[in-house]
Amino acid sequence: MTREGWVEAHAYLQPVASLCAAVERAAREMAIVNAETPSWDDYDGDFRAGVPLVRSEGAAIDRKPAGAAAASLVAKLAAERSPGNFAADAALLDQALRRETHGARRVVDWLLGEDDFAPPAPGLMRYLGWTALARYLSPVVAAFDKRRNDELWLRRYCPTCGSPPAMAQLLGTDPGRKRLLACGGCGTRWQFPRTKCPFCENDSQKLSVVTVQGEAGLRIDFCVPCGGYLKTYDGQGDEDLLLSDWTSLHLDLVAHDRGLKRRAASLFALDWASGADA
Ligand SMILES: [Zn+2]
Ligand SMILES: [Zn+2]
């Protein structure tokens, strides 16, 4: 499945698709530096205690370069002629970051929920900030995936960055089918009990499912006690496309129409994602 084919079949995704493409291109052109791999031994105690890698003092991941990359990405997009309100919002963000002492550092702390920074266009800031941070962290995420014992984590937040999941993926066949939760921020996927709700932690084995015809294995799993839902990819091979969240924004509308609540993290709580401004 190609991105072009998917967007062609879901024309309402076109505005968000072109903006994602513009941001990804800008990020690619910037050659963002990568985080250094931490000492896993220095992190091990924190891992067992449930502290995500990026928040661990033992792992000591340097946040500064990620903040600088996020600020540069904002500045680059502010200087470009992008569609809709996108460039205008990027310009507002650029001004706010320049005004702020330690603005770049504060953005990263804010993305990680540790700073009360209040940027204009917070939805766009979140999306651009995570785009930079995910690229910065990508080799560390890959190394952590190989190294981590997921059986010792099984928590409802991302082992790398601490975000709640954006989506989920089902792997394998019964018995022994596994569920992974997918971080919309840093891109980590980690194991979580299959029948447990990652929002209220109810383990009633009552996660219910809405299947949607013709959606390449995407479905909506929801929890009856709390009404939270998680879009779930029941397949393999198209993770990059189908777990990127924006490619299934229409399923959020289906869930909303059924009275379910999006309790998953979202980078796409953006006015322009609806197409209204584009
Ligand atoms: Zn994460
Ligand atoms: Zn629940």
User: How many whole angstroms from 227 Cα to the centroid of ligand 2?
Assistant: 6
User: How many whole angstroms from 172 Cα to the centroid of ligand 1?
Assistant: 23
Q: Identify the pLDDT of residue 276.
A: 35
Q: Identify the pLDDT of residue 213.
A: 80
Q: Identify the pLDDT of residue 1.
A: 87
User: How many whole angstroms from 68 Cα to the centroid of ligand 1?
Assistant: 19
List the beta bridge partners of residue 262: 229
User: How many whole angstroms from 251 Cα to the centroid of ligand 1?
Assistant: 22
Is-cis flag, bond preceding 175, omega within 30?
yes
Ligand number with the minimum distance to the CA of 190: 1
Residue 105: C-alpha distances to residues 75, 101, 133 (Å) = 15, 9, 12
Ligand number with the minimum distance to the CA of 267: 1
Ligand number with the minimum distance to the CA of 158: 1
User: How many whole angstroms from 122 Cα to the centroid of ligand 2?
Assistant: 27
Q: Identify the pLDDT of residue 175.
A: 81
C-beta atoms surrounding 54 within 10 Å: 26
Ligand number with the minimum distance to the CA of 53: 1
Q: Burial level of 172, CB count in 10 A (0-12/13-18/19+)?
A: exposed
User: How many whole angstroms from 80 Cα to the centroid of ligand 2?
Assistant: 43
Ligand number with the minimum distance to the CA of 160: 1
d(CA 179, CA 181): 7
User: How many whole angstroms from 198 Cα to the centroid of ligand 2?
Assistant: 7
User: How many whole angstroms from 145 Cα to the centroid of ligand 1?
Assistant: 12
C-beta atoms surrounding 65 within 10 Å: 19
Ligand number with the minimum distance to the CA of 208: 2
Query: Cα 64 from chain centroid?
Result: 20
User: How many whole angstroms from 185 Cα to the centroid of ligand 1?
Assistant: 5
User: How many whole angstroms from 46 Cα to the centroid of ligand 1?
Assistant: 16
Ligand number with the minimum distance to the CA of 166: 1
Q: Identify the pLDDT of residue 138.
A: 98
User: How many whole angstroms from 61 Cα to the centroid of ligand 2?
Assistant: 32
User: How many whole angstroms from 81 Cα to the centroid of ligand 1?
Assistant: 31
Q: What angle do CA 53, 198, 173 make, to 5 degrees?
A: 95
Query: Cα 113 from chain centroid?
Result: 14
Q: Identify the pLDDT of residue 272.
A: 47
Q: What is the pLDDT along the chain (278 residues), one digit of tens a residue?
A: 899 999 999 999 998 998 899 999 999 999 899 999 999 999 999 999 999 999 999 999 999 999 999 999 999 999 987 666 688 899 999 999 999 999 999 999 999 999 999 999 999 999 999 999 999 999 999 999 999 999 999 999 999 999 999 999 999 888 889 999 999 999 999 999 998 999 999 886 677 889 888 788 999 999 999 999 999 999 999 999 999 999 999 999 999 999 999 999 989 876 544 433 32
User: How many whole angstroms from 192 Cα to the centroid of ligand 1?
Assistant: 14
The residue to which tokens 């299934």 are assigned: 248
d(CA 114, CA 107): 10
User: Of 272, 273, 256, 275, which Cα lies nearest the Cα of 264?
Assistant: 256
